Chains A and B, each alone.
Chain A
């Protein structure tokens, strides 16, 4: 079945979520797929390793305009007579996939977490408290893939790279400025997350949280009240009304584990909880637990992480 995959490769290197999306498209089609992208990234041939036979790139287009990108995707889809259009479920994917679906009158599975079983595709619903199986009845399917849902699979091939020659028109949305975040790892893509809650007592106590995260190569996150009190930036807020993440490892420190918090993190592969209250609800959702005072436990974790880094 003809399958194309739309990825955002702006920036210096191809993001991991893009390699996941190409892998997904490749496994879905059972053969080489056409990857569609834009901007000036070099080294796109390398997408062949994940299953792209061909990469169509709109050079010089560094747009944030979903309408231009929709035209790009729809043009390649019709050129290839695509039956599946795979996207990433990131900011770019969210501005393009629904538009492509509406244009093609295609059923859209947003936030797929696995390859289809028969004609059913699995996704999270109720903020991670349940899953649903979606069946698409239109001739074309649009599937947006959640990050960390499939392991990127690398082979030996390289892809041919072709420049898109159509006209995408003028952008209606202009990018005025990008304010770079600090050093850290972006939370939605992080494989390890160190998260802290109101149990940390105040923003001045985040030093050891950041140090532990740095040592583990982790992103930092927080509970809602912590962001509401401006102890930490809003983009760190995870949960039902913040962002939902699914890292391999989520370490929660001084967070009670309210149902709305769990909703955003219960897809994590392994959860470790540090809380001084043995009755904290978070322990029921955890794989590893420590009942203890964060201020005594953190130095021990930092010491152990330093030791681990020294050994490996």
Chain B
């Protein structure tokens, strides 16, 4: 298992979820991806995207100027 990061700051939705999707396509099962973003809409989009694709949402954290979402990759 390895940990990866994705900078999706200053991108408006749906771009953060698209970048997350594309990054996860290149990762292996069990890998973790930490996504950094600023558009609050991603707090809806990334967890919903994880649910429909069966990935595990490890955590979400929100500060004044940043949102951090960690995902564990699950592959069929």
A and B form one complex: no
Residues of chain A touching chain B, judged by Cβ–Cβ distance below 8 Å, are none
